[in-house]
Copies of this chain bind each other. A is one copy, B any other.
Amino acid sequence: MLDMAILGLLAETPLHGYELRKRVVSLLGGFRALSYGSLYPALRRMREQGWITVQEPVGTSAALPADAPALTGKRGKVVYALTADGKEHFQELLGEAGPEAWEDERFDVRFAFFAQTDAELRLHILEGRRRRVEQRRDGLRAALARTRQRVDHYTLELQQHGLDSVDREVRWLSELIDSERVGQQHDTSRTTPTGGHSS
C-alpha cells in the first residue's frame, strides 16, 4: 500500500520525506494519517532494496557512501528519487491484477494511479471493486431486514447510513465503469484517454 504510494509519487518527481508524507496524505484525501514512524523505515527499506536513491543531501558537502546515514553533523534535506529498478517495480505493482486490488485498503491507492494503469486492467479493477461493494451492500441489506424492529434506534441509524454509503459507492463505480467502456469503444489500444472529461 505505502510502497505503491511512495513509488508513484516519486515517479512524478523526487521529493524529501516530509513533503512526501504530505502528498501521500493528500493523495488519499486525508483519510489515512501516515506517521514518520512508518514513512522513514519504509524509505530505508526501499533504499536497501534498490528502488530509490538518496540524492546529494542539501547542507552536507562531503560525498556520502551509500549506506552511511548522516547521524551527526549538519543534516540537510534528504531527497529521494526513483531508480530504474524502482520504476520497473512500480510498473509491476501497477500490473498486478489480483483480488487484493479491490479491497478497501488498496483500492484507493490503485485508483489514484489509474492514469498510469492499463485501460483493460482499470475496468477489471473497477468491476472487481463493484462486486466487492455490492456484496457488502447485500450483506448489510440482509442484516437490516433481519434485525429491523429488534434493535434500537441508533444501531438502525448506523446500519442505514452504512447502507446508503455503499449504495452511493456502487452508483459511483457504475458511472466510472460506463465512462471507461465508452472510452474503450473507439480506442482499442491500451493507452490512457488524456481527454478532459468536463463535469
Tell me the A residues contacting B by CB distance below 8 Å. Answer: 26-27, 29-31, 104, 108, 111-115, 136, 139-140, 143, 147, 152-155, 157-159, 161-165, 168, 172, 176, 196-197
Contact = CB atoms under 8 A, between A and B. Distances in A.
A158 B111 contact: yes
A104 B27 CA distance: 19
A39 to B, nearest CB: 19
Given A165-B165, A165-B168, A196-B153, A158 B115 contact: no
A154 B29 contact: no
Report how many copies the assembly holds. Answer: 2
Nearest to A26: B143
Nearest to A29: B162
Contacts of A139: 30
A107 B104 CA distance: 19
Contacts of A176: 157
B111 A29 contact: no
Nearest to A122: B154
Given A165-B165, A165-B168, A29 B158 contact: yes
A148 B26 CA distance: 13
A115 B153 contact: yes
What 3 pairs between A and B have smallest CB-CB spacing?
A29-B162, A114-B154, A115-B152
Contacts of A155: 27, 112, 115
Given A143-B26, A153-B196, A197-B153, A162 B111 contact: no
